[in-house]
A and B are shown apart, each in its own frame.
Chain A
């Protein structure tokens, strides 16, 4: 068979791949096993009872155990991560207790079980300290390096501090990196994260990024991960380099409907003289919810009325969510969130 025949046959193979049956019945009925496992009420119905039990256990536990430190299980993934001076080798596991740090070198990785609410992967070159491990507060501090976190708890139970900001989980998965200067970069891959610092906050949704610099006055303005390079540079100038009005004008010029997350944050961050320009550009790209575009609502938005801005945010948030979740499945109109 010559090359051309091979190519043709391979193309045919790929075509056959796309025509593979979408449905295959399992060789046996799986339902009885599933039914046995879901015989209990679903997790959300057990939540109240679990929460109540957890509170009781917490109170009793603290009284009985006194000063004993709780901890989370750590599993070595690669290399020889350390907890304090103890290296985890082989198939090693250990316990990370409050006040202790796990440290990975250039070839080490580890996984931390965050109580019962999630897990954190500690990538090479990281130092991660356990600050609090209570049912109502799961708090870590990332001094340097990179972590990947997946959390399934209700919002605000899982928090990661960095030298320049604090990431508050709102039910999500994300990658958080801290470099040697203490600057951080947050990339959200599911749900939402609130980034706080210096009295400012950024809400970073699925598919968006926010950076923060030490002493930079709080978290930077979030942007979607496919934002134009020129817009990103202008945001950096605005957030950290005193770029002022010129930087904002560049953002407005380069922004697409997909960048509504950025513009929404800018509405409340720019100086009052620029606010109308930012808001009008946002409205032009992504129309506000019905009834929000009138003069009164515009005035309310420009006065930074919380309810008005929050309603607008819910619309932008939903569009961004649909855009990300349906990427490659359906083409979504970034102005409306509806399938084209």
Chain B
């Protein structure tokens, strides 16, 4: 397979085969990201497709100032966040720092039989959407609170509060 730079260049000139190779190279990483951000396998498939379609449409704006994987990753995060913001599920959106009972109710801790370890992926998926997004972006993907705040359109303090909330909920699941 040609190197990534060459694949990107060809894809930028409309070579669908090159873009397919880029897809094969990156789909696992993008699907994992979408799966954890959405907590839903079907939604993750849709967002993964959306991310690659968006990438195809915006390839010309990629100028190689970052790695293609980084660019694609960021684009996928935006696709997931934008979809949720635009889908009418705003009542579950990241709340102002105060506690939101509705928000808390959204968490449905998975039943973990005594003596068995917690399924981490399952537990993350069970977090409320806003808390899950911040947790995944911060603890799994390594973004900073400032970056998360920008991407999610929230305050840095809110991002920190959501991370605290997510960790607390995970801890509660652990203690069940």
Q: Give B36's nearest chain A residue, CB to CB.
A: A20
Among B1-9, B24-32, B105-113, the stretch in contact with A: B24-32
Q: Give B32's nearest chain A residue, CB to CB.
A: A24
State whether A13 touches B150 (Cβ < 8 A).
Answer: no
Q: A20-B120, A26-B27 are in contact. Are A321 and B65 (CB under 8 A)?
A: yes
Q: Give B90's nearest chain A residue, CB to CB.
A: A77
Tell me the smallest distance from the CB of A169 to a CB of chain B, in Å: 15
The interface residues of chain A, by DSSP majority, are classed as mixed
Q: Interface size (B, Cβ < 8 Å)?
A: 51
Among A269-277, A292-300, A323-331, the stretch in contact with B: A323-331
Q: A6-B174, A18-B140, A24-B31 are in contact. Are A34 and B66 (CB under 8 A)?
A: no
A313 within 8 Å of B (CB atoms):
no
Q: Give B26's nearest chain A residue, CB to CB.
A: A23
Q: A13-B174, A24-B31, A28-B45 are in contact. Are A329 and B142 (CB under 8 A)?
A: yes
A189 within 8 Å of B (CB atoms):
yes
A-B complex: 7 closest residue pairs judged by Cβ atoms: A328-B144, A23-B28, A24-B32, A43-B57, A26-B31, A189-B150, A44-B60
Tell me the smallest distance from the CB of A6 to a CB of chain B, in Å: 6
B35 within 8 Å of A (CB atoms):
yes
**How many Å lie between the Cα of A14 and that of B147 in the bound state?**
20
**How many Å lie between the Cα of A28 and that of B45 in the bound state?**
9
Give residues 20-65 of A contacting B (CB, 8 Å): 20-28, 30-31, 33-35, 37-38, 41-45
State whether A18 touches B139 (Cβ < 8 A).
Answer: yes
Q: Which of B140, B147, B150 contacts A20 (CB 8 A)?
A: B140
In the complex, what residues of B have CB within 8 A of residue A9's CB? 174
Q: A10-B174, A327-B146 are in contact. Are A30 and B32 (CB under 8 A)?
A: no
State whether A38 touches B16 (Cβ < 8 A).
Answer: yes
Q: Which of B14, B65, B174 contacts A322 (CB 8 A)?
A: B65
Q: Which of A17, A26, A121 contacts B45 (CB 8 A)?
A: A26
Contact with A along B123-160 (1 / 0, CB 8 A): 01000000000000001101110110010010000000
Q: Which of B28, B56, B60, B124 contacts A38 (CB 8 A)?
A: B56
Tell me the smallest distance from the CB of B161 to a CB of chain A, in Å: 17
Q: A31-B23, A33-B49 are in contact. Are A23 and B14 (CB under 8 A)?
A: no
In the complex, what residues of A have CB within 8 A of residue B20's CB? 31, 35
State whether B174 touches A327 (Cβ < 8 A).
Answer: no
Q: Interface size (A, Cβ < 8 Å)?
A: 49
**How many Å lie between the Cα of A329 and that of B60 in the bound state?**
24
Give residues 71-124 of B contacting A (CB, 8 Å): 74, 82, 86, 88, 90, 118, 120-121, 124
Tell me the smallest distance from the CB of A301 to a CB of chain B, in Å: 25
Q: What are 28 A-B contacts defined by CB distance under 8 Å?
A: A6-B171, A6-B174, A6-B175, A16-B120, A17-B139, A20-B36, A20-B120, A20-B121, A20-B140, A22-B28, A23-B29, A25-B27, A25-B28, A25-B31, A26-B44, A26-B48, A30-B31, A31-B24, A43-B57, A43-B58, A44-B58, A44-B60, A148-B153, A189-B150, A321-B65, A327-B147, A329-B142, A329-B143
The interface residues of chain B, by DSSP majority, are classed as helix
Contact with A along B24-56 (1 / 0, CB 8 A): 100111011001100001001100110011001
- Beyond contacts A30-B27, A42-B60, A328-B142: 5 other A-B pairs, Cβ-Cβ < 8 A, are A16-B120, A31-B23, A38-B57, A78-B90, A328-B146
State whether A37 touches B60 (Cβ < 8 A).
Answer: no
In the complex, what residues of B have CB within 8 A of residue A329's CB? 70, 142-143
Q: A30-B45, A44-B57, A327-B146 are in contact. Are A24 and B140 (CB under 8 A)?
A: no
Q: Give A1's nearest chain B residue, CB to CB.
A: B175
In the complex, what residues of A have CB within 8 A of residue B52's CB? 30, 34, 38
State whether A21 touches B32 (Cβ < 8 A).
Answer: yes
State whether B49 touches A24 (Cβ < 8 A).
Answer: no
Q: Give A190's nearest chain B residue, CB to CB.
A: B150
State whether B144 touches A13 (Cβ < 8 A).
Answer: no
Tell me the smallest distance from the CB of A314 to a CB of chain B, in Å: 12
**How many Å lie between the Cα of A92 and that of B128 in the bound state?**
26
State whether A42 touches B56 (Cβ < 8 A).
Answer: yes
In the complex, what residues of A have CB within 8 A of residue B28's CB? 22-26
**How many Å lie between the Cα of A22 and that of B65 in the bound state?**
23
In the complex, what residues of A have CB within 8 A of residue B142's CB? 328-329
A69 within 8 Å of B (CB atoms):
no
Q: Give B34's nearest chain A residue, CB to CB.
A: A26
Q: Give B171's nearest chain A residue, CB to CB.
A: A10
In the complex, what residues of A have CB within 8 A of residue B82's CB? 150
Tell me the smallest distance from the CB of A321 to a CB of chain B, in Å: 7
A233 within 8 Å of B (CB atoms):
no
**How many Å lie between the Cα of A318 and that of B35 in the bound state?**
33
